[in-house]
Amino acid sequence: MFDTDIFVLGGGPAGLAAAIAARRSGFRVTLADASEPPIDKACGEGLMPDALHAAAALGIDIPETAGYAFKGIGFQNQLHHVTADFPNGTGLGVRRMALQRLLAENAARTGVELIWRTPVTGIERGIVSLGTKRMRSRWIVGADGSQSSVRRWAGLGDYKRNSLRFSYRRHYGVEPWSEYVEIFWGEGFELYVTPVSAKEVCVVLMTRNHHRRVSDALPDCPQLQAHLRGAPAVSTERGAYAAMRRLHRVTRGCVALVGDASGDIDPITGEGLCLAFRQAGALAKALKAEDLCLYESAHRRLSRRPRWMADFMLLMDRSTFVQRRVMRAFAAHPRLFASMLAMHVGQSSPIQFAATTAALGWRMAAR
């Protein structure tokens, strides 16, 4: 006899989305986390249109009033500045704590049993240990982040890591000056600026230098520094690892992994939440069919485009030469940047994807 059908370990967006999707599929769902909402984490706080659509497909409504809408993406370096609108819809900048609170409230309304401030100490043969308490579950979902304990307990720890970087996030009390999420490219770092309210922006530094902080990078981006001059920091700076980690498998026995626990996509893409929402939907379908092989194949398929985009943008991060070539090509041919953005948010066909890639390669090679 099972105490619950599905036990989810991890109360972040990935775990809550997986719990909501499973509950809406008719399962009894229990979720546990050692922390309690609102749970904060260093992230870019920008939801692309495809992430909002993926959330809506799970029955999760993220209203525009929860944050600040943006209509596209901008790239900027010392020489060039280019912007492009999303082909359809808008994105939404949302504070991480606000999003986590919204998802937790949705999960509670849906009927998920939420157990906060309760660390899970182990899993074995479908039994979850919560201190002295034991719960028997038909399925176990690990959504406990990059350093997943579930992944280790289930013997799914084998992975290939492509890169390791560091991210640092800080909020500034200033009115957004742009309708876009702006990405400032420096030498060996990027600064992401996402509007999250009418009076606040989120600034994230991505770097390979763990000693560098947001304030250290600003002098190398004079345009951004000018916008932030005199603006108060309204949050403490938070840091996190940013890795590219690909697992050989994301399921074993009755255990499945979702979100960063199932393999990291570098935050440079801004696709982490969208991927987690889509994984949650795919996992619910596989559980309904009682076949986790379906989730394995879906997980690989869903990860393909974000990984390609991450590889491309990390190449720009590693090589100033490539970065300058790409930025020059985008500035000279703005439609190329718009096509790349459409591909990034999944709003172009495979043929258009191939054509855009070929065109970018050609423009980069041109003198």
Q: What pTM value is reported for the model?
A: 0.92
Encoded tokens for 1: 């006899």
Q: Note the pLDDT tens digit of each residue in 230-267.
A: 999 999 999 988 878 889 999 999 999 999 999 888 77
What integer pLDDT is reported at residue 28 of this predicted model?
Answer: 98
Beta bridge partners of 68: 93
Q: Which CATH number is associated with domain 4-67+93-161+243-312?
A: 3.50.50.60
Q: Which residues contact 174 (CB under 8 A, 6 or more apart)?
A: 199, 200, 201, 227, 228, 231
What integer pLDDT is reported at residue 10 of this predicted model?
Answer: 96
In terms of C-beta density within 10 A (0-12 exposed, 13-18 middle, 19 or more buried), how is residue 176 classed? buried
What integer pLDDT is reported at residue 364 of this predicted model?
Answer: 60
8 A C-beta contact, residue 314 and residue 244: yes
Residues in the chain predicted with pLDDT less than 70, given as ranges, are: 161-162, 349-367
What integer pLDDT is reported at residue 14 of this predicted model?
Answer: 96
Could you tell me whether strands 29-32 and 113-115 are parallel, antiparallel, or unpaired per DSSP bridges? parallel
Percentage of the chain modeled with pLDDT above 90: 73
8 A C-beta contact, residue 76 and residue 30: no
Task: Name the fold adopted by 164-241.
Answer: Alpha-Beta Plaits (3.30.70)
